[in-house]
Amino acid sequence: MTKDPLRGAVLRALGDVAPDADLTGLDGGADLREALEIDSMDFLNLAIAVRDATGVEVPEADMPRLATLDAWVAYLDERLRAGAGS
């Protein structure tokens, strides 16, 4: 999966997890907690939704790295290239 579809997958997951959040014009480098007012519960649900969409399960230790949309895309790309689908 290239980065564009990965970005789309994460955005769709964000929309599912936080349907009341405004994703319009979300900056890839913006801190998701600040920009979308999402909390740890939302983050967990996001990780589950992304796992369902991409097959990549994020270990808890890696969660702090995923503060922005760009970070999510880069992480997923790295994991999928490494062949770690689950």
Tokens of 81: 């290239």
DSSP string, 48-64: HHHHHHHSPPPPGGGGG
Residue selected from 39, 62, 65, 84 as contacting other proteins according to rule CB under 8 A? 39
* Interface with other proteins: number of residues (CB under 8 A): 23
Please state, as a whole number, how many other Cβ atoms lie within 10 Å of the Cβ of residue 25. 7
| Dist. CA 52–CA 65, nearest whole Å | 20
| Residue 12 makes contact with other proteins by CB under 8 A | no
* 10: enclosing H helix or E strand: helix 3-17
Q: Smallest gap, in angstroms, from Cβ of residue 13 to other proteins?
A: 13
Q: Under a CB-based contact definition with an 8 Å cutoff, are residues 75 and 62 in contact?
A: yes
| Residue 25 makes contact with other proteins by CB under 8 A | no
Q: Smallest gap, in angstroms, from Cβ of residue 82 to other proteins?
A: 18
| Residue 48 makes contact with other proteins by CB under 8 A | yes
Interface residues toward other proteins, by CB under 8 A: 17-24, 33, 36-37, 39-42, 44-45, 47-48, 51, 57-58, 60
